A and B are shown apart, each in its own frame.
Chain A
Amino acid sequence: MYFQLAWRNIWRNSRRTAVIMIAIVIGVWSMIFLSAFMRGMEYDMIKNGISTLTGNIQIHQKDYINDPVIENSMHSPIKLETALKKVLPPVAHWASRIRVNAIASNARHSSSITLVGINPIPEAKVSFIGNAINNGCYLKPGDMRGIIVGQALLNKFETKVGHKLVLMSQDTDQEIASRSFRIIGTFKAQLQATEKQFAFVTITAARQMLKLKKGISEISIILPDNADANPVATGLKTELSADLYQIQTWQELLPILNAYIEIFDGFIFIWFIVVFIAMGFGIVNTTLMAVFERMREFGLLKALGMKPWWIIKDVLLESFLILIIGMIIGNLLAFLCVFALAQSGIDLSAFAAGAEFAGISRIIYPAVWIEDVIISNIVVIILGLLVSLYPAAKAARFTPVEALMHT
């Protein structure tokens, strides 16, 4: 009967109740949907960051990060391989590369790029390049002249697949090495910047050009679960001497990305606060209005022998019902939106220029984190009840004496 009483009371002014419920629905919906969108963006940034040649973990010669030149290569790949086989989980993939700065030029243009010498087969399982070819073909092992460039670089150089491209870099003898390659394919990446930055040749071609025997610049490792990056890195550190090698996780390799993600988390938090403040004011206001309208009634309830605390509980029960209904609808709506957009994603093309700067794809797939959902719901219900305490306490104080004075 308490429930019935509360239920009938909230529908006495159905318009007002509907308005506050809609506010709660929008609040909850936006909290869940926005955080799903942000998480989707975060996930996308991490995925892009990792697949753009970073991997979950990288191994370099210890001076390479500060001075990424060909002299700072790792010269005993066999030793590395045994360490990797020992530490990595069986489903992990890894690839060795040579990576140097170079100048690419043709008759009309020149540009500074990063030349990456790869083992085509393992590389395809580690970075994006394996399935990013949009024109021509991918590198075959042992190809000594073929080069793959980004579509954007191709356009910038006003050239075509099949044409020549000359690369220059410093070799192991500190001399300028130069070699001409033939463009055999182009790749598409999420970001234009990636397409302009990287050019791929086979590791054998790169070694020949740079006069390197069997050295490599880096090993990039992909783990089945991103969360394993830290423990695996620790495992590798015990196997490989810190005097020779530097082992870094993606968080260390992409500090800016990491900072972005922290900012995103901050955004979500701030949004939760904003939504809540707006909603909280709405709840306090409407509940206060509802309570003042029924001043006589609360006086009557007191006269009937209700303890002040029972009256508080009554008002809170009414708020609780409104909150719960609003939350259920808000959750359903949010999940519906996420579900509807899970397939097609959210197209950010309109903002692509700005988004690209941050390393975000054009299309974002919202990702629901159950923690976010739980937190938004708890925030709404707990704080909703807390702010209802004020009008409830007011209601508990009305006496028929006062109530009659207000007529």
Chain B
Amino acid sequence: MGIVECKDIKKTYQQGKIEVHALKDVSLSIDKGGFAALAGPSGSGKTTLLNIIGGLDQPDSGSVSVAGNTFEKMTQSQLALLRLHNVGFIFQSYNLIPVLSAVENVEFVMLLQGVQATQRRERAMAILDDVGLEGKYHRRPAELSGGQQQRVAVARAIVSNPSIVLADEPTANLDSKTGNGLLEMMRKMNEEKKVTFIFSTHDKMVMDYARRLVLIRDGRIVDDKIK
């Protein structure tokens, strides 16, 4: 069984009077240690699927399980705890808490997990070093470039060794060189720390990095290649 199991997921949104079928019968299984890309045009349902896998959104039908936890009967609080310990999120932008410095942003997740203060600081700094941000610990997000902010977000997502990291178009706001660097780094983390990455993209270059490429169109998986 994969670390992520989605079975027959349907999700329909109501936009005024129009029903939008964001996901129509999606089934997907992703193995531990995977580095998978969900690719597809805008509006195809990538974000919706990632949110559902992360428990931020509920499917209308179908079942989801992450790291052996089936979502169906879980409460909001239980889902939150599952995210806290098992799922890291990276969004396209606005990933960081603006009033906290880089190192505090990384520490924040460990704070929620109840990690002790000195250990928190040590681990946060070490992981920031890993993502190439040594010496920028105390900068606020506003004082970091977009690429640096995304690196902090990656550092935060993996600092507590989650089962999976869900990244929704993490490179969309970056130029291709910076985006490349970030992907390189995510792959390094994937290989070194055995963290499963699932990211969405519609960028050809990003798709090339993935070891598995899942193509979505109009809320359906139309292709699934393992390279």
Chain A interface residues (CB < 8 Å from chain B): 1-2, 4-5, 8-9, 12, 296-297, 300-310, 399-401, 404
Digitize B74-100: 1 where CB-to-A-CB distance is under 8 Å, 0 elsewhere.
001100111111010101001101111
- The stretch among B28-36, B64-72, B108-116 that forms the contact with chain A is B108-116
**Which chain B residues border A296 with CB–CB below 8 Å?**
94
Q: How far is the CA of A72 from the CA of B40 in the complex (A)?
A: 108
Contact residues of B: prevailing secondary structure: helix
B5 at the A/B interface (Cβ < 8 Å)? no
Chain B: CB-nearest residue to A9: B99
**Which chain A residues border B156 with CB–CB below 8 Å?**
304
Q: How far is the CA of A307 from the CA of B83 in the complex (A)?
A: 10
Q: How far is the CA of A301 from the CA of B91 in the complex (A)?
A: 12
Distance (whole angstroms) from the CB of A313 to the closest CB of chain B = 12
Distance (whole angstroms) from the CB of A394 to the closest CB of chain B = 15
Chain B interface residues (CB < 8 Å from chain A): 47, 51, 54, 56-57, 76-77, 80-85, 87, 89, 91, 94-95, 97-100, 104, 107-109, 111-112, 156
- Given A5-B100, A309-B77: A304 touches B112 (CB 8 Å cut-off): yes
Most buried by B among A2, A303, A305, A307: A305
**Which chain A residues border B104 with CB–CB below 8 Å?**
1, 4
Whether A305 lies near B83 (C-beta < 8 A) is yes
Whether A304 lies near B89 (C-beta < 8 A) is yes
Q: How far is the CA of A404 from the CA of B80 in the complex (A)?
A: 19
Chain A: CB-nearest residue to B86: A305
Q: List 14 A-B pairs, Cβ < 8 Å.
A: A1-B107, A1-B108, A2-B111, A4-B104, A5-B99, A296-B94, A300-B94, A304-B156, A305-B82, A305-B83, A306-B84, A308-B80, A309-B77, A404-B47
- Known contacts A5-B97, A310-B80, then 12 further A-B pairs from the complex at CB < 8 Å, ordered by chain A residue: A8-B100, A297-B94, A301-B97, A302-B80, A303-B91, A304-B109, A305-B81, A305-B82, A305-B84, A307-B80, A401-B51, A404-B47
**Which chain B residues border A302 with CB–CB below 8 Å?**
56, 80
**Which chain A residues border B47 with CB–CB below 8 Å?**
404
Q: How far is the CA of A400 from the CA of B98 in the complex (A)?
A: 16
Whether A303 lies near B56 (C-beta < 8 A) is yes
Whether B112 lies near A306 (C-beta < 8 A) is yes
Distance (whole angstroms) from the CB of A311 to the closest CB of chain B = 9
Please pick, from A1, A297, A304, A310, the residue contacting B98 in the complex, using a CB distance under 8 A. A297
**Which chain A residues border B54 with CB–CB below 8 Å?**
303
- Given A306-B112, A399-B57, A400-B91: A300 touches B97 (CB 8 Å cut-off): yes
Q: How far is the CA of A309 from the CA of B75 in the complex (A)?
A: 12
Whether A297 lies near B97 (C-beta < 8 A) is yes
Whether A307 lies near B107 (C-beta < 8 A) is no
- Given A303-B56, A309-B77: A12 touches B99 (CB 8 Å cut-off): yes
Q: How far is the CA of A404 from the CA of B47 in the complex (A)?
A: 11
Distance (whole angstroms) from the CB of B54 to the closest CB of chain A = 7
Whether A300 lies near B80 (C-beta < 8 A) is no
Closest 6 CB pairs of A and B: A305-B84, A8-B99, A305-B83, A303-B89, A307-B80, A307-B77
Please pick, from B57, B76, B77, B108, the residue contacting A304 in the complex, using a CB distance under 8 A. B108
Distance (whole angstroms) from the CB of B183 to the closest CB of chain A = 21
